[in-house]
Structure 1
Amino acid sequence: MQITHFKTPLLGLSLLGGALLVAGCNQAGTQTASTANTTTVAQNEAPPAGSSAAQSQAKTGDDHGHSSDAAALEAHPHATKLLFAASPGEIPVGKPATWTLQINDAKTGAPVKDFSVVHDKLMHLIVVSRDLSWFNHIHPEYKGNGTFKVTTTLPRAGAYKLYADYTPKGKTQEVAPHEFSTAGTAPGATNVSLTPDKMNGPWMTKKVVAHPEGEPEAKGGPTYEVALMPMPFPMKAGADSMLHFQVRDAKGVPVKDLQPYLGAMGHAVILSSDTKQYLHSHPMEGGMDGKPHDMSKMGEMKHAAPPKSGGPDVMFHTKMPAAGNYKAWGQFMHKGKIITAAFVVNAGQPDANAKAQTGAGHEHKEGDPPHAH
């Protein structure tokens, strides 16, 4: 069994209306790669060249961008650290592997034993291929004493990244990113080139096949058409935006009986092309009537209490932290199956007056003086 042990990097957390933004700070954590020969890397100490720990540290010490929006929470050292292990140690392709995620107290090393239920689960695990062409949203089972386990299958060889999203009881929400590769794949950075989807009138549209929860590769499900309208268009970095999804059947007829999924009428996960910016958004109140919304009042909107059914329109409030391309996955449930639709959207440079007022677009780069956390 191969184990990677690291202290969760400092993360900037911003509550953007209905969205949680996570930006990984540039601080390497304590990591241990346990193989036949164990290598231990102390915090901020350079690992031996060519070691697995050196490769892991290079990947987790991301530079980052902070949004200085007025609603942002202060960045803080995380209270926990994550221990990730896979069995078999070399993760196979096309075959099940069991992942263990151990959550320990960052100071004492003791297991964190109590977690809060957030959207029906103790942990949400987002897994993507590093080129962002593959996505899964799964829920490890809590075994007690800080240990979560899940058995899952990766469809192809390559580099992957996961985001473990959990809330220790009585503490703030934490998101721990971790990069890994399948058996026989050399670790290393993956260049991601995203091209924004083309508009068809006011919408972007995709045909997708519904699948059982956690099984995006499953075949034979019903086909749906999912449309996305970014609001406003074009979107601007640092400015309030809406992602207006509309779910239709294979013939383009709006689906009006969507079911709640994990305590909401939908979920939206958004990643920047470099995977360093992670946003998880949920529908906003008044977001399912399909009518135009007053963008100036977006900051006053509240989370929607999910009805027993709804649709076809599901709207998510978000704010892109920096200019660039982002991939957004919308997830919805209909007749017990999950509808997952992915779109690439662009956020343009912030307006000069908005940048001056909010500081949007500020990016901390490697070599800059460290932030006070």
Structure 2
Amino acid sequence: MKTSVRLIAYATGLIVVFAGAAGAGRAFGPAGKPAPAHTEAHAVADEHAGHEATVLPAGLQVTQAGYTLSPLTTLFMSGKTQTFAFRILGPDGRSVTQFTPEHGTELHLIVVRQDMSGYQHLHPVRAADGTWSAPVTIREPGAYRAFADFTPRARAENMVLGVDLTAPGDYQPRLLPQPTWETTVDGYTVTRAGEPQSGAASWLTVSVSRNGQPVTLEPYLGSFGHLVALRQGDLAYLHMHPQAGTPAGPDVTVNADVPSTGAYRLFFEFQHGGKVHLAEFTAVTGAGHTHN
């Protein structure tokens, strides 16, 4: 047999050997153990696990259900007022221009620092091409999070997308204030009754008084008060809605279900005397605790 023929036969033999080994590897898996069959039950379980993995608290994703929060500005200089511009891109990649108003506006914009200080609730203006813009004042350096809270007209459910912003400089994070039941702001005393709960229906009532006398809150964005809760650590976002049919008065009761135990910062906005005021609380639910 010629040398070239012998080489060809040898190479052919190697191919057969390696093919057999690969087949055995697929059949037995590592360490010679039989590889588990991917049955229909496994497929269903995998699909269910994938679905569960996508169920996240609001505000943790920049893209969800085909919609994307696309910022045109992410870098800010502390101590200055700058325009924050952004777009909401739809599943087709184009700017969304049709929204269903909720609480008196098409889109709520929340900006807050990572340590949950410097909270701002803004109402940007939308241009005809779908570009939103709002003046934002970043007072201190640090990492910030911007939340867009909206409902596209093509979608029945509300959604909240979040994106990171940066203000370079000497970042001095603040400790999360200890849990409190009462706070004062602009001469008003604001108290809360009830604690957020995870895994159970819960309600929280906020009451406002001034000089020891209860005040009658004025409608603000279609409600007598708005409460946003942010979870310490990842800033998971919850817009706690008041009970339907809440009468005018000093009290606002909101649904206080939260996705997990832990520490939350509560931001309650109310209007009285034609001016909007912001009261802040720290609340701890379940076995959660603050991390200083």
How far residue 349 of structure 1 moved from its aligned partner, in angstroms, is 4.0
Query: Could you say what the CA RMSD is over the residues aligned between the two structures, in angstroms?
Result: 2.5
The equivalent residue for 2:4 is: none
1:90-149: CA deviation from partner (whole Å, max 9, x where unpaired): 41222210111111223x312212111111111100111111122111011011222111
User: Could you say what secondary structure the match of 1:128 adopts?
Assistant: strand
How far residue 24 of structure 1 moved from its aligned partner, in angstroms, is 3.1
The equivalent residue for 1:197 is: 179
Contact 2:82 2:137 in 1 (8 A): yes
Aligned residues between the structures: 235
For the pair 1:174 / 2:159, whether they are aligned, the reply is: yes
Change (3 A) 1:90 1:110: closer
Contact 2:58 2:161 in 1 (8 A): no
The equivalent residue for 1:252 is: 212
Change (3 A) 1:118 1:175: same
Which amino acid is the alignment partner of residue 149 of structure 2? Answer: D
Contact 1:11 1:24 in 2 (8 A): no
Contact 1:11 1:22 in 2 (8 A): no
User: Could you say what secondary structure the match of 1:260 adopts?
Assistant: coil
The equivalent residue for 1:270 is: 229
How far residue 11 of structure 1 moved from its aligned partner, in angstroms, is 6.3
Which amino acid is the alignment partner of residue 107 of structure 2? Answer: M
The equivalent residue for 1:22 is: 58
CA distance in 2, matches of 1:191, 1:335: 34
Which amino acid is the alignment partner of residue 159 of structure 2? Answer: E
Which amino acid is the alignment partner of residue 347 of structure 1? Answer: T
CA distance in 2, matches of 1:278, 1:263: 21
CA distance in 1, matches of 2:54, 2:174: 22
Corresponding residue to 1:94 among 79, 82, 96: 79
The equivalent residue for 1:81 is: 68
Which amino acid is the alignment partner of residue 84 of structure 1? Answer: P
Contact 1:12 1:24 in 2 (8 A): no
How far residue 196 of structure 1 moved from its aligned partner, in angstroms, is 3.8
User: Could you say what secondary structure the match of 2:266 adopts?
Assistant: strand
Contact 1:122 1:142 in 2 (8 A): no
1:244-268: CA deviation from partner (whole Å, max 9, x where unpaired): 111011x22111x211110011111
The equivalent residue for 2:45 is: none
CA distance in 2, matches of 1:181, 1:343: 25
In structure 1, the gaps of 5 or more residues are 1-9, 14-20, 30-76, 199-203, 210-222, 285-302, 351-373
Which amino acid is the alignment partner of residue 265 of structure 1? Answer: F
The equivalent residue for 1:41 is: none
How far residue 325 of structure 1 moved from its aligned partner, in angstroms, is 0.8
Corresponding residue to 2:184 among 207, 212, 232: 207
The equivalent residue for 2:15 is: none
Change (3 A) 1:184 1:195: closer
User: Could you say what secondary structure the match of 1:344 adopts?
Assistant: strand
How far residue 163 of structure 1 moved from its aligned partner, in angstroms, is 0.7
Change (3 A) 1:174 1:78: same
The equivalent residue for 1:128 is: 112
How far residue 320 of structure 1 moved from its aligned partner, in angstroms, is 1.8
Instruction: Compute the TM-score of the two structures, normalised by the length of structure 1.
Output: 0.58
Change (3 A) 1:85 1:185: farther
For the pair 1:338 / 2:269, whether they are aligned, the reply is: no
User: RCO greater where, 1 or 2, for CA within 8 Å and sep 6 or more?
Assistant: 1
For the pair 1:12 / 2:55, whether they are aligned, the reply is: yes
1:314-349: CA deviation from partner (whole Å, max 9, x where unpaired): 111121211111111111100111121111111114
Which amino acid is the alignment partner of residue 227 of structure 2? Answer: A
Contact 1:157 1:182 in 2 (8 A): yes
Superposed, 1:284-299 pairs within 5 Å as 284=243
How far residue 195 of structure 1 moved from its aligned partner, in angstroms, is 5.0
For the pair 1:159 / 2:143, whether they are aligned, the reply is: yes
Query: Which of the two has higher C-alpha Rg?
Result: 2
1:177-201: CA deviation from partner (whole Å, max 9, x where unpaired): 1111114468xxx988535424xxx
CA distance in 2, matches of 1:274, 1:191: 13
Instruction: Compute the TM-score of the two structures, normalised by the length of structure 2.
Output: 0.73
Corresponding residue to 1:141 among 107, 121, 125: 125
Which amino acid is the alignment partner of residue 100 of structure 1? Answer: A
How far residue 158 of structure 1 moved from its aligned partner, in angstroms, is 1.4
Contact 1:92 1:182 in 2 (8 A): yes
